[in-house]
Amino acid sequence: MIIQPTTAPTSVASTPGVASPDKADGNAFTNGLKQVEQSLAQADQLGQQLATGQLSDVHVYMAAASKANLAVQMTVALRDRAVEAYQEIMRMQV
């Protein structure tokens, strides 16, 4: 039995860190973090299904795990850049 992921493929407008134009709150970073959390939860769910034998195709899990890994790496890179920018601002002489 093959169990496919429950979420639809993401478009450019729904990638982490990029706000889609129809979002009312306008906080792209918060929306990106929510999407990263969802991709991690999906990878965890597929990992549990694979471990219990409910998921027969390993590539479905591997794709979800890779997507979650890349999302976390991008989030960490964004955080590091924000911290560097803050530190640079704090070093400026007024």
Domain presence at residue 64: yes
Provide, rounded to the nearest whole percent, the portion of the chain with pLDDT above 90. 62
Give the residue numbers spanning the domain of 85: 21-91
Please give the average per-residue pLDDT across 32-38, as a whole number.
94
pLDDT reported for residue 11: 44
pLDDT reported for residue 51: 94
Please give the average per-residue pLDDT across 16-36, as a whole number.
71
Domain presence at residue 4: no
Structural domains of the chain, count? 1
Domain presence at residue 14: no
Domain presence at residue 13: no
Domain presence at residue 2: no
User: Nearest to residue 75, comparing CAs of 43, 7, 19, 29?
Assistant: 29
Domain presence at residue 36: yes
Domain presence at residue 53: yes
Whole-prediction pTM: 0.66
Assign 29 a pLDDT band (cuts: 50, 70, 90): confident
Domain presence at residue 57: yes
